[in-house]
A and B are shown apart, each in its own frame.
Chain A
């Protein structure tokens, strides 16, 4: 199989990937050029960020967020990293993923902020899960959302970029569509605009599959954590992703159509999001819809209480 882009330029280069959803076969150099151009076009078309923004990339040590940080920097965006060490010791998951984020930070010569869950709570996510009986993924989401916003605001970042990819977004959209969860459908946007106390959040990788992000990492020699989070074993997301990839195999382009046609055709028909009035948390000062303390501080109190009993 030959590279289509090279063929158009009268050259002959062997392809290393065929993208059926774009009907495109590309060699190494053309894939890298295609990936970065498409990323920049997505960012500009959707008004996600500009070169004037001070961007914080929430990095997990995985392929998607590291590919995003690397590509944004190559495109000339001012992007630093934030890594949240979740305190997952099984198979050295957190320490290894933290190392990958540090390696890229050094390579890009950009700062990396690090938050340690164990320093905040005295325990990592698996122990917090056992202690509070709250699902691990829900605790992880709560802690990440809190610190991503807090660290970005405190350090003057105008925007947070996350590594959510097409497969992530399609699996989520599929899951909430199955239960016709309208409130969640309303929130399924690639940009969450800034509002008082909340920094803007963007998902620049929504047009890329996980495979494309993985290939970008491999070709750019970005060292990422290959192991799956030990707490995510058997999660529904993976089941939905496999299922949707089977549909994609029969009908290439389904994932792109499902996601982008939702944004273009269905989302505008949904009612606007009702945002309850925000208050300052009486403990940490972060914005909250609660009249007293925010969900994060409530969780912190719950942990403290559980440790005392």
Chain B
């Protein structure tokens, strides 16, 4: 699956839960939203190799 995080794109080829993907990318579930094929999903949902994924970070400097 193609995973976009800010201006970087990562490639993963195995099925995994959103929470596992965040862990692999060293991202916190408290501050990130996972979008799978244009739809917001929970961290418990599965991501398939064919999915297009974007992770949006919520933290701002204030």
Residues of A within 8 A of B (CB): 1, 15-18, 25, 28, 62-64, 164, 167-168, 171-172, 209-211, 213-215, 218-219, 226, 228-229, 232-233, 235, 237-238, 241-242, 245-246, 248-249
Contacts and interface: CB of A to CB of B under 8 A. Distances in A.
Given A172-B62, A210-B31, A211-B30, 10 more contacts: A1-B44, A16-B39, A62-B60, A164-B62, A214-B33, A228-B61, A229-B60, A233-B61, A241-B31, A242-B31
B60 A25 contact: no
Given A218-B56, A245-B31, A249-B28, A171 B62 contact: yes
Contacts, number: 76
State the 10 A-B residue pairs at the shortest beta-carbon distance, nearest first: A232-B61, A210-B58, A245-B30, A214-B58, A211-B58, A16-B40, A237-B62, A245-B28, A235-B61, A168-B62
- Interface bin, chain B: 20 to 34
A215 B62 contact: no
B62 A218 contact: no
Given A1-B45, A18-B44, A168-B62, A249 B30 contact: yes
Contacts of A172: 62
Q: Decide if the interface of chain A is mainly helix, strand, loop or mixed.
A: helix
A56 B29 CA distance: 33
